[in-house]
Structure 1
Amino acid sequence: MIFTGVESAYLDGQLLGRLATVGSDGTPQVRPLGFRLNEDGTIDLGGPRVASTQRYRNVRRQPRVGFVVDDLTPEDPSLVRPGMGRGVEIRGVADTLRVDTPPGKPGMAGNDIIRLLPRRVISWHIDPDNPAGEARNVA
């Protein structure tokens, strides 16, 4: 199992994350993308014309990436750390491919995607049983 139940539920409830790739000159590039958590623990990232973007070319050249999904916890005392940041960071290896059903809202993305295979997962402030979060290698 790559993600805990709490991590999976959190990711399923979010629509947007940020993908970090490495440019040809070695500089980082971070861009927002829609995503979908797949049953096998991989994550499909997509958006309009993603195959024509620099991030897509970056992944084809250097597949090691980072992906962060985060937000602020609501001001609800029953939640973990109300008003603080919470999220999941996934470090891994990405590949480019074409799928029949892209992630995101229908019509908002093309069939070319970036698929992330997680290698390390770091989560924080999303699990009431583990409020500090955790970091672990998953592959």
Structure 2
Amino acid sequence: MGLTEVERTYLAGQSIGRLATVGPDGVPQIRPVGFRLNADGTIDIGGPENARSQKYRNAQSRPRAAFVVDDMTPDDPGEVSPGWGRGVEIRGDVEVLSVRDIPVAPGFFSHDVIRLHPRRVISWAIDHEQPKGTSRTVARESAE
């Protein structure tokens, strides 16, 4: 069990999210990032010279992260919550690796990515079937 089709569709329509990692001093670090949702439900998070970034080093040292993609719903009666916020938060384990296909903006982003493996998913105001949102565990916690 991973992301729902509604969550996948929402994420596919977005281009930026915020990645929270934990720095060496134990303080959270949050950065806006580009991303790609992979067919297997993992998310590749990229950036220019990504391997040189603090978020990348944080992910190497402390491989847990949270990722949020959100926006405001159009003020349209057909929306789940017209004029309100909506989004998806994904918490999970991360790994750093180099990929052949750059996830976002080839020529600008590097081949080095942070790959997020979802463990907990929280979504709100994106699904007409569950307008108040959902929260669920989608994979067992890692042994770390």
Scaled by the length of structure 2, the TM-score of the pair is 0.95
Which residue type is aligned with residue 99 of structure 2? V
Q: Equivalent residue for 1:76?
A: 76
How big is each residue's C-alpha offset from its partner over 1:39-96, in whole Å with a ceiling of 9 and x where there is no partner? 1100000010111000000000101100000000011110011111100000000000
Separation (CA, whole Å) in 2 of partners of 1:131 and 1:4: 14
SS across alignment from 1:78: coil
Q: Equivalent residue for 1:103?
A: 103
Aligned length: 139
Q: Alpha-carbon deviation of 1:104?
A: 1.2
Separation (CA, whole Å) in 1 of partners of 2:63 and 2:84: 32
Q: Alpha-carbon deviation of 1:105?
A: 2.1
Runs of 4 or more off by more than 2 Å in structure 1? none
SS across alignment from 1:8: helix
Separation (CA, whole Å) in 1 of partners of 2:8 and 2:82: 20
Which residue type is aligned with residue 104 of structure 2? G
Separation (CA, whole Å) in 2 of partners of 1:84 and 1:115: 30
Q: Which runs of 5+ in 1 are unaligned?
A: none
- State the Cα RMSD in Å: 0.7
Which residue type is aligned with residue 73 of structure 2? T
Is the counterpart of residue 124 in structure 1 residue 129 in structure 2?
A: no
Which residue type is aligned with residue 96 of structure 1? V
Is the counterpart of residue 134 in structure 1 residue 134 in structure 2?
A: yes
Q: Alpha-carbon deviation of 1:107?
A: 1.6
Separation (CA, whole Å) in 1 of partners of 2:23 and 2:51: 15
Q: Equivalent residue for 2:53?
A: 53
SS across alignment from 1:101: coil
Which residue type is aligned with residue 96 of structure 2? T
Is the counterpart of residue 23 in structure 1 residue 15 in structure 2?
A: no
Scaled by the length of structure 1, the TM-score of the pair is 0.98
Separation (CA, whole Å) in 2 of partners of 1:134 and 1:115: 23
Separation (CA, whole Å) in 2 of partners of 1:104 and 1:98: 13
Q: Equivalent residue for 2:142?
A: none
Which residue type is aligned with residue 135 of structure 2? A
Identity of matched residues, %: 60
Separation (CA, whole Å) in 2 of partners of 1:6 and 1:107: 31
Q: Equivalent residue for 2:66?
A: 66
Separation (CA, whole Å) in 2 of partners of 1:76 and 1:103: 32
Q: Which runs of 5+ in 2 are unaligned?
A: 140-144
Q: Alpha-carbon deviation of 1:37?
A: 0.5
